[in-house]
Chains A and B, each alone.
Chain A
Amino acid sequence: MVLTSIPAFAAQQTDPLTVNMAVNARANLTLGVATINFPDADPDTTPSIAATENPVSVTAKVRTGASSTATLTHLAGGDLTSGGNTIAISNVTWTATGTGYVPGTMNRITSQTAGSWTGSGNYGGTFSFFIVNSWSYVVGNYTVSTTYTLTAP
């Protein structure tokens, strides 16, 4: 004889609930500073001048497809100018830290890649900027506007 205790009257009711979510592409770029400055220096002792603000923090937040590539590009509005004098923008370079960020040289005609990532995420890094120092530069205070563009397809 086997003594058993079976819950003979177990009851159950179920009802469904469907959960939906839409996720659209979007991008958000944050730079630690909006302006960088190169101080004056002797070209012989300082052939490459670092920006006073180095390193500059950068955060690229993107939502894109799992296999899509988001890109960060940089384009200068022109050469560095002071009155009628100029310093070629191609004398300015940058180094980069952080996943997906890449070093480069500024250009006033063609956008230069500064970073790229596959899939969504929150990507942090830094840029450090340098300018070639030359005896050929005419004295003056030079300025130029440049633009970073973050694109998430």
Chain B
Amino acid sequence: MRRFVFLFIFSIAYFLPCGIHPAFSQTLDLTVTPTSISFSDADPDLTPSIAANTTVDVRIRVRQNGGNNWRLTHLASGDLSPSIPISNISWTVTNQPPFINGSMSRSVDQTAAQGIGNLNPAITGTFTFRIANLWSYNTGNFSVATTFTLSAP
């Protein structure tokens, strides 16, 4: 019996500093609607900033996250074209916080929302995207894939 008690106490003393985590897994929900937006052609002198054809609803929910951080990020896979940098697209969003205004990037994840703990029930941010309209843009039809990522911790 003594031996058992000793082993039990030793085991606790050994494993606690090893960073044993509580036995739960985060449940994250992310929905982006719609999955495509378009910017129409316009005269840069008359319309220096073009709004996308539709707003985008991003719905997020975070559960079983304990006291950990969570973060929603956005990353573009590239520029719209060599003459149209993706950084010319910016967004404003409702429900601040946790949602945050920002600009697109092709190299660094841009934070679109962040918080601590759970976010339950789900919350929806309505994103309005705009692009700076410049004479320097060369003609054509351009497209780029981008990704929202919800992660924790």
Q: Which residues of A contact B (CB under 8 A)?
A: 3-26, 28, 61-66, 68, 119-122
Contacts and interface: CB of A to CB of B under 8 A. Distances in A.
A65 B140 contact: yes
Contacts, number: 149
A122 B26 contact: no
18 contacts: A3-B18, A9-B21, A11-B26, A12-B149, A13-B29, A20-B37, A20-B142, A20-B143, A21-B39, A23-B140, A61-B135, A63-B137, A63-B138, A65-B140, A66-B83, A119-B83, A120-B138, A121-B135
Contacts of A28: 43, 45
A65 B147 contact: no
A132 B32 CA distance: 69
A13 to B, nearest CB: 4
Given A11-B152, A14-B148, A120-B137, A19 B37 contact: yes
A19 B137 contact: no
Tell which of B76, B135, B152 has the most Cβ of chain A within 10 Å. Answer: B135
Nearest to A7: B153
A18 B146 contact: yes
A119 B36 CA distance: 28
Contacts of B25: 9, 11
A17 B43 contact: no
A14 B147 CA distance: 7
B139 A21 contact: no
B48 interface: no
Given A18-B143, A19-B104, 12 more contacts: A3-B17, A4-B18, A16-B146, A16-B147, A19-B80, A19-B89, A23-B139, A61-B45, A63-B138, A66-B82, A66-B83, A120-B137
B146 A22 contact: no
Contact of A10 (B56, B58, B153): B153
B144 A19 contact: yes
B139 A64 contact: yes
Nearest to B138: A66
Nearest to B144: A19
A5 B150 contact: no
B135 A11 contact: no
Interface string B81-115: 01110100100000000000000100000000000
B24 A19 contact: no
Contacts of A61: 44-45, 135
B140 A12 contact: no
A120 B139 contact: yes
B146 A13 contact: no
Contacts of B11: none
Contacts of B29: 13
Contacts of A122: 135-136
A44 B139 CA distance: 53
B38 A21 contact: yes
Nearest to A68: B139
